[in-house]
Amino acid sequence: MTDKTQKELETKIARLEQYLVKLKAELEKTRLQEQHEAIDQIDQYLNEDDNLVSDLEEFWNVLVSDMREFFDRRKKHSQNRP
Amino acid sequence: MESGGVIISSGAEQVESEKRSDGLVHILALLNRTRDWVLIAFLLYLLLVAVSMIGSGFNMAAGENAKDLFNFARNPITGLVIGTVATALIQSSSTVTSIIVGLVAGGLPVVIAIPMVMGANIGTTITNTIVSLGHIRRGVEFRRAYAAATIHDFFNLLSVIIFLPLEIQFGILDKIGAYLSSLVYGGNSMSMKSFNFIKPLIQPVLKTIQEVASGLLPHPLNGIVMILLGVITIIAVITVIGRLLKVLMVGRVKKVFHWAVGRGPISGITSGTLLTILVQSSSTTTSLIVPLAGNGVFTLRQVYPFTLGANIGTCITALLAATAITGPTAGLALQIAFVHLTYNVLGVVVIYSIPFLRNIPLRLASTLAKATSRNKFYAIAYIGVVFFLAPAILIIGSNALGW
């Protein structure tokens, strides 16, 4: 590798690294902005601990349907056995 | 020209009337806020009276023998489980620790009360775990929400695993609590005892209740009724205060949150502490961050210090409750409140400052959340094991070992 090519590559790497730092800073800025926007909507989450019964109901419904699926699969599996 | 003048005049009247109605709305809002703050002040007063009622109730019902009533909880594992189950059922660690302060004032030995306070920390974590279950239908969102909820559980479990054996062996928290309490209730003339302005506020009402109870009911029923009334009042008062503060403090909650964003873990812990003091409920604070973590705006590492702050912030209620106790057990009541604070601060300092320990709750919460998002039965198994099966096995095992 010639000195010129090596220098060119080093310059390219330095430029890419600079660009990477810039992109990371931009990403961080976007993330922070998103977090501040979410905080502005925090009113809707303040009563989360008052809806425990509906949270449990939601979970229970999913659990029951998963159980049904599981037992249906087992039933089919045992029926298909010779 | 005349009709133009009428239009201008009616337009000006409309602006004036809007201004007036805006002013009226502003005054009404101000009146509502003032009414709510007055109500909160009254409820805080009721809380202090209720805590005193528990202590007095035990004195009336059992007198000098009150200590013997708590012998059943002499086993620290039993105390731990009582604190866990009571908090899981009542859904408020502030309520349970305030009741414990009242019990200590009534004769519950501090040594027995310490595991109960530790248990209250574990019991309170069930609330945000249930909140995260509400996200069950949204795969990735549920995984993130469940991890954000259970990280609090794993931290509190780890804290008990570290500090309960140390407490049984060396009584570290007991000694620190006693020292801090002696600073306030020490025998020196410079102690805070002489500045207790709560006593003259509480005593007349407490004496009236005692007289009414003694007049209407025979001994020891009068004391038992006072204890029950005290417990019910604490539960009701803390629930109502929590609801009122959520509405009144929403603006400040946002400000604290905005301030903490992007500042690192110390600010996270500080903001978690401040928010919990503002809304007087660690369950509210830790449940609040579950949807924020669920929608991916905050990472698990970012919400972790915040939940730790909630542990510290919740101690303020027990400290406040301890100020209501007067007489010979006042120092002990304050001691258990300081034990609660010391335990939570030490937990954060020790676990969060040692990287190996700090990462344990993170890893466990992530692993459990991944497993649960694949198989929902893990959620049931987890709650069953941590809150019911493990406590039962621990009680049976420790009794069998003769603890």
| Per-residue pLDDT tens over the stretch A14-30 | 999 999 999 999 999 99
Listed residue (B386, B319, B313) closest to B97, CA to CA: B319
Candidates B127, B289, B292, B372, partner chain A, best to mutate (most A CBs within 10 A)? B292
CA distances from B393 to B88, B115, B120, B160 (A): 18, 17, 19, 16
Question: Distance (Å) from the C-alpha of residue B44 to the closest C-alpha of chain A?
Answer: 21
Q: What is the pLDDT of residue B198?
A: 73
> Ramachandran region of residue B108, left (φ > 0), alpha (ψ -120 to 50) or beta?
beta
Partner-chain residue, chosen from B130, B257, B290, that has the shortest CB–CB distance to A39 = B257
B377 to chain A, any CB pair closer than 8 A? The answer is yes
CA A25 to centroid of chain Cα atoms: 20
Q: Which residues contact residue B163 at a Cβ distance below 8 angstroms, ignoring those fewer than 6 apart? A: B118, B172, B173, B343, B346, B347
Phi, psi at A40, each rounded to 5°: -65, -25
Instruction: Average the pLDDT over B58-74 and give the result.
Output: 74
CA A63 to centroid of chain Cα atoms: 23
Instruction: Average the pLDDT over B113-129 and give the result.
Output: 91
Q: How far is the C-alpha of B68 from the C-alpha of B148, rounded, in Å? A: 42
B287 to chain A, any CB pair closer than 8 A? The answer is yes
- Asked whether the beta carbons of residue B261 and residue A48 sit closer than 8 angstroms, the reply is no
Specify the pTM. Answer: 0.84
- Between vectors from CA B201 to CA B196 and to CA B207, what angle results, nearest 5°? 115
Partner-chain residue, chosen from A40, A48, A51, that has the shortest CB–CB distance to B254 = A40
Partner-chain residue, chosen from B250, B283, B295, that has the shortest CB–CB distance to A49 = B283
Element (H, E) at B215: helix B198-216
- Asked whether the beta carbons of residue A32 and residue B262 sit closer than 8 angstroms, the reply is yes
How many CB contacts within 8 angstroms connect chain A with chain B? 82
pLDDT by residue (tens digit) across B185-223? 765 444 455 556 777 888 888 889 888 888 888 878 888
- Residue B388 DSSP code: I
Partner-chain residue, chosen from A38, A46, A54, that has the shortest CB–CB distance to B134 = A54
SS3 of B249, please?
A: coil
| Cis preceding-peptide flag for B218 (omega within 30 of 0) | no
Q: Which residues contact residue B316 at a Cβ distance below 8 angstroms, ignoring those fewer than 6 apart? A: B276, B277, B280
User: Would you place residue A45 in the very low, low, confident or very high pLDDT band (cuts 50, 70, 90)?
Assistant: confident
Question: Distance (Å) from the C-alpha of residue A49 to the closest C-alpha of chain B?
Answer: 6
Q: What is the pLDDT of residue B5?
A: 60
Q: How far is the C-alpha of B320 from the C-alpha of B7, rounded, in Å? A: 61
Q: Which residues contact residue A10 at a Cβ distance below 8 angstroms, ignoring those fewer than 6 apart? A: none
Q: How far is the C-alpha of B131 from the C-alpha of B331, rounded, in Å? A: 38
Phi, psi at A6, each rounded to 5°: -60, -45
Q: A42 contacts in B (CB within 8 Å)?
A: 250, 253-254, 257, 288, 292
- Using only C-alpha atoms, chain B has a radius of gyration, in whole angstroms, of 24
Partner-chain residue, chosen from A32, A43, A62, that has the shortest CB–CB distance to B136 = A62
CA A5 to centroid of chain Cα atoms: 42
Handedness of CA B94, B100, B104, B106 (dihedral sign): positive
- Asked whether the beta carbons of residue B297 and residue A32 sit closer than 8 angstroms, the reply is no
Instruction: Average the pLDDT over B266-281 and give the result.
Output: 90
